[in-house]
Amino acid sequence: MNKVDVVVLAAGKGTRMNSSLPKVLHKLAGRTLLQHVISTVNCVSDCRIIVITGHQAEAVEKFHAQRNCIFVRQSEQLGTAHAVAMSLPYIRDLSNVVILYGDVPLVSLSTIEKMIEAVKEGQMGLLTAEKHNPSGYGRIVSNEEGSIESIVEQSDATPNQLKITEVNTGVMAMNSSQLKNWVPQIRNSNKKNEYYLTDIIEIARLNGCFIKRIQPNSNIEVEGVNNREQLSRLERSYQKYLANEFMLAGNSIADPDRFDQRGKLKTGFDNYIDVNCIFEGEVQLGNNISIGPNCHIINSIIDDCVEIKANSIVDSSRIKSGAIVGPFARLRPGTLIGEGSSVGNFVEIKKTTVGHGSKVNHLTYLGDAKIGPRANIGAGAITCNYDGSKKHETTIGENVFVGSNTTLVAPIALSDNSFVAAGSTVTTSVAQGQLAVGRAQQRNVTGWKPPKNS
């Protein structure tokens, strides 16, 4: 039995979130709670993912439509065992089944693999955890030999059972035959008249199945989200974990409590990250990179020895080795900054290639442009790339000098070694080596008198 079927329970409303969004659509580290679960499970070979939806099922299914899942709706929420029962027609014969939860987002792949291994050994796997404060959790009831006998929900527990600190996480695994035989045996004879999946433990024991307790690598794996305060705490715990992974890989963070990774961060070593930096989407860092405080890096590639100064935004761009960006720079999608180039403060660049060794030092906008090597773009220069209907391209060659407060009206080309005088509006292309002067004629009026104050 190498096939694995994973059932993810994601039907609940999440009343305590006090939100119009279903709970599993709330985000942790930039991804929905359910995305975290699905992404981890997708790493399991020969795996079928069955997601049980209910509250706002259409919204949940639409958001995760490209995630390689089978969605099954639970029209009435009658308990966790009832939810799992909805999945039974989709469970393959001779498969190993793992049950996860859409609001417990961080169960690791290694923990899931341990659950599967227990099933392969002919056992049932149950993920448990020790909690200093077990309030709200079902308690693990063991016999004198320490074997698991049952799980008691808190609302049904006796005073002595409430003192138990080993708790049920809800995550369990068994083979498909067991699941299909045992789930229909569960009854709703409890204070809430719900079908508790936890009752399957006692059924398994009565059928002679040994229940193997499995512990997570860290309790962060089994933290669930029921309200916004829990979500916030889990966010900080997870970010601290990601920061530690980053540092263990050979990088430095000024303050791990002020680091945010909202996606995938691939990194080299000897990088330094200052406070309040956010990495979003898929970001790739080389080596020996310095990123100043309050920077936001989105879906970008940063090569070796780049310096990004404070308060800069880099979005869907590439910065090549040795370049300097910022402070207060904004690189918009489609930007390529060449080796050794400099992009300074209050510069905005969009869909533009800046050649190696070029300088765009301050107060400039470049859009839909190609800039050759060793060009110098002065302060206040802009490309007028939009005519109200279409975008047009500006081409600037090698060793071009563009003076301050220049307006380049696209489509236009400045050939190699050309020069544009400061304050010019340039509307026609400039040939190699030419000087372009596009200023209005100056007049000095003698005897002019300013208006008098009334």
CA–CA distance, 94 with 382 (Å, rounded to integer): 66
- Per-residue model confidence as pLDDT tens digits over 317-357: 999 999 999 999 999 999 999 999 999 999 999 999 999 99
Active site residue 26: no
CA–CA distance, 364 with 361 (Å, rounded to integer): 8
Which pLDDT score, from 0 to 100, does residue 454 have?
A: 66
Which pLDDT score, from 0 to 100, does residue 156 have?
A: 87
Which pLDDT score, from 0 to 100, does residue 381 have?
A: 98
Which pLDDT score, from 0 to 100, does residue 4 have?
A: 97
CA–CA distance, 123 with 41 (Å, rounded to integer): 21
What DSSP character marks residue 150?
Answer: E
Which pLDDT score, from 0 to 100, does residue 448 have?
A: 87
What DSSP character marks residue 138?
Answer: P
Which pLDDT score, from 0 to 100, does residue 57 have?
A: 96
Exactly one of 26, 36, 64, 362 is catalytic; which is it?
Answer: 362
CA–CA distance, 325 with 289 (Å, rounded to integer): 12
Q: Region 262-287: what's the mean pLDDT?
A: 97
| Whether residue 366 has pLDDT greater than 70 | yes
Q: Region 137-166: what's the mean pLDDT?
A: 91
Q: Region 74-78: what's the mean pLDDT?
A: 91
Torsion of CA 154, 159, 164, 170, to 10 degrees: -10
Q: Are 106 and 220 in contact (CB under 8 A)?
A: yes
| Whether residue 131 has pLDDT greater than 70 | yes
| Whether residue 61 has pLDDT greater than 90 | yes
- Per-residue model confidence as pLDDT tens digits over 382-441: 999 999 999 999 999 999 999 999 999 999 999 999 999 999 999 999 999 999 999 988
Element (H, E) at 280: strand 277-285
CA–CA distance, 193 with 170 (Å, rounded to integer): 19
Q: Are 25 and 64 in contact (CB under 8 A)?
A: no
Q: Are 407 and 390 in contact (CB under 8 A)?
A: no
What DSSP character marks residue 244?
Answer: H
Tokens of 387: 């005519």
**Confidence band (pLDDT; 50, 70, 90) for 66?**
confident
CA–CA distance, 400 with 378 (Å, rounded to integer): 11
Tell me the C-alpha to C-alpha distance, in Å, between residue 369 and each of 116, 390, 401, 406: 54, 14, 15, 15
Q: Region 79-85: what's the mean pLDDT?
A: 96
3-state secondary structure of 15: helix
| Whether residue 220 has pLDDT greater than 60 | yes
Task: Give the lowest-confidence range in 138-147, 156-165, 237-246.
Answer: 138-147
Q: Give this prediction's pTM.
A: 0.91
Q: Are 335 and 348 in contact (CB under 8 A)?
A: no
3-state secondary structure of 90: helix
Which pLDDT score, from 0 to 100, does residue 125 have?
A: 96
Q: What domains can be seen in the chain, in order of their start residue?
A: 4-222 (3.90.550.10), 228-436 (2.160.10.10)
| Whether residue 177 has pLDDT greater than 90 | yes
Which pLDDT score, from 0 to 100, does residue 145 have?
A: 84
| Whether residue 68 has pLDDT greater than 90 | no
Give me the residue label for tokens 């860092």.
285
- Per-residue model confidence as pLDDT tens digits over 30-53: 999 999 999 999 999 999 999 999
Burial letters 168-182, b for 16+ CB under 10 A, else e: bbbbbbbbbebbbeb
| Whether residue 1 has pLDDT greater than 80 | no
Which parts of 42-175 fold into alpha helices (H)? 57-63, 80-87, 109-120
CA–CA distance, 316 with 314 (Å, rounded to integer): 7
| Whether residue 141 has pLDDT greater than 90 | yes
3-state secondary structure of 213: strand
| Whether residue 97 has pLDDT greater than 70 | yes
| Beta bridge mates, 343 | 325, 360
Give the rounded percent of residues in the chain with a pLDDT score beyond 90: 90
